[in-house]
Amino acid sequence: MEVIEGQANAEAEHVVANGGRSVQGRDVLAAIPVLNEASHIETCLRDLLVGDDRLADVLFVVADGGSTDGTPDLVRELMKVYPNLRLVENPARLQSAAVNLVARRFSEDRRVLVRCDAHALYPPGYIMTVADSLVRHGVESLVTPMDAIGQTCFQKANALIVDTPLGSGGSAHRGGRRSGFVDTGHHAGFDLRSFLEIGGYDETFSHNEDAEYDRRLRAASGRIFLDAEIRLQYFPRSGAKALARQYYNYGRGRARTLLKHRDVPRARQMIPPFVLLVCCLSLAISPLWPWSLSAPAGYVAALSCASIWGALKLGSPCGLFAGPASGIMHMAWAAGFFRQAALLGARSGRSAAGVSSPASR
């Protein structure tokens, strides 16, 4: 008890000595994975580098995955202005590998890792606000809500619907307003030692690496806190094809996570696969039983209601894209989920057959 009280007193004295802030800039490492972000990177970095006097001592590292649009050149120009900004190559190209690379190469004397995505807008002082909250709550991971915004017509509708239960299934980090402990969320800050101890991200994951990491963190008794007071804005996909590809990969990543850890999916996670399966079966048997078409018709009606709501909410015909955007998310996610589950199932079956075959012994 005396030791704990002594540590608490020392921490309290440290906080008072630093104006009520328990984290110094020299404690913080910021990782920014990029790939062809020339249209966003300068705004992103300038937002992150202002708003708190401690930021001058934060080490900012941009990990570039082989950009061909001039992103590295823009970062090098900013390095002339900000001496605490670095640029490194990320040969693996994936975001998971980029964050791991930064954490492992620049972790010396740092205790907080903050992850930032270039495709977002950050409030002033975001980096230190995240670090302060992580340390204040005494957790291993801090997650924050994301508020989607749009510029193009489709993107505005996409941004509107993704932060609703129909678009995201009620995920707390999608526009959530309540702080508290959660199982997963949009990654913002990490206790750097804990991040490295459990191996960082699984670099075989191109998507869903955050949820997979959170699964291992919880298994190691780590805690994840959602701070709804720290918010960022991000731009969702601006076209139907890009949105479909994104959610297809999300579905594949979720299936990999569940199968890797042998977890039972939550009910809300299985709604899109269930809807896709029912619609496909209904269409298949409709020549024999026309009434089966009522299931896909009901789903289309729900999406139509979402479109009408979107148009009214935005006060613009652009909102009519809300229904199609939601349908693309559901169906692409479900298709990716089924595809990955089938691939892993077939691979597991071949492995089992190889082990049991006399020829393999």
Q: What is the pLDDT of residue 15?
A: 42
Rounded CA-CA distance 26/5 in Å is 26
Which of 9, 15, 8, 34 lies closest to 101 in space, CA to CA?
Answer: 34
Q: Residues 164, 170: contact at Cβ < 8 Å?
A: no
Phi and psi angles of residue 317, each rounded to the nearest 5 degrees, phi first: -60, -20
Contacts of 112 (CB under 8 A, 6+ apart): 23, 27, 28, 29, 131, 134, 135, 189, 190, 191, 192
Phi and psi angles of residue 181, each rounded to the nearest 5 degrees, phi first: -75, 140
CA angle 324, 326, 329 (to 5 degrees): 110
Which of 92, 95, 109 lies closest to 192 in space, CA to CA?
Answer: 109
Q: What is the pLDDT of residue 177?
A: 76
Domains (range + CATH), the chain:
11-149+172-236 (3.90.550.10)
Q: What is the pLDDT of residue 17?
A: 39
3-state secondary structure of 197: helix
* Prediction pTM value: 0.83
Q: What is the pLDDT of residue 354?
A: 56
Q: What is the pLDDT of residue 207?
A: 87
If the chain, 361 residues long, is cut into consecutive pieces of 10 residues, what is the mean pLDDT of each piece? Answer: 34 41 90 94 93 95 95 96 96 95 94 93 94 96 92 94 81 73 92 96 91 95 95 90 94 91 85 93 93 94 96 96 96 94 72 45 35
Q: What is the pLDDT of residue 175?
A: 63
Rounded CA-CA distance 190/111 in Å is 9
Distance, CA of 119 to chain centre = 12
Residue 199 DSSP symbol: T
Q: Residues 84, 60: contact at Cβ < 8 Å?
A: yes
Q: Which residue has the tokens 């479900």?
A: 334
- Of the CA atoms within 13 Å of residue 45, those in its CB half-sphere come to 29
